Structure 1
Amino acid sequence: MTIQAHIASLEKKHGALEEELQTILSSPSTDDHKIADLKRRKLRIKDQMQRLKATTRH
């Protein structure tokens, strides 16, 4: 898998997590642990994307 393909895959996962997070936040009964977990996963993916993008610039 090329770096660009890997970044695209991570962007897709990040978007899916964002959609899931928005769905959970719009529901009346929210699970704080699930919300925190989704946010952590999104942040990890975002960090991975930034690292990969930085390597392609050098």
Structure 2
Amino acid sequence: MTIASHLAELRKKHESLSDMVAAAQRSPGSDDLQIAEWKKQKLKLKEEIARLTEQEQQH
């Protein structure tokens, strides 16, 4: 898998998590712990995307 295709997949996952968080936050009685977990996952993906983007630009 190339870096570009891996980045595209990570961005897709990040966007999906963003949608899930937004939908859960609009719903009354949503699970705050689940939302927090999704946000942590989003942050990890964002950091990985930034790292790979930087790595790709250096080559």
TM-score (normalizing by structure 2): 0.94
After the TM superposition, list the runs of 4 or more consecutive aligned residues in structure 1 that deviate by more than 2 angstroms: none
Rounded Cα–Cα distance in structure 2 between residues aligned with 1:4 and 1:36: 28
Percent identity, please. 38
* Superposed counterparts of 1:29-40, under 5 Å: 29-40=29-40
Cα distance in 1 for residues equivalent to 2:5 and 2:41: 19
Letter in 1 for 2:39: K
Partner Cα separation in structure 2 for residue 32 and residue 20 of structure 1:
12
CA RMSD of superposed structures (Å): 0.6
Task: Give me the whole-angstrom Cα distance separating, in 2, the residues matched to 1:36 and 1:44.
Answer: 13
Structure 1 position 24, deviation (Å): 0.3
Unaligned runs of 5+ in 2: none
Cα deviation, residue 29, structure 1: 0.6
Mapping of 1:1-58 within 5 angstroms?
1-58=1-58
* Number of residue pairs the alignment of both structures matches: 58
Long gaps (5+) in structure 1: none
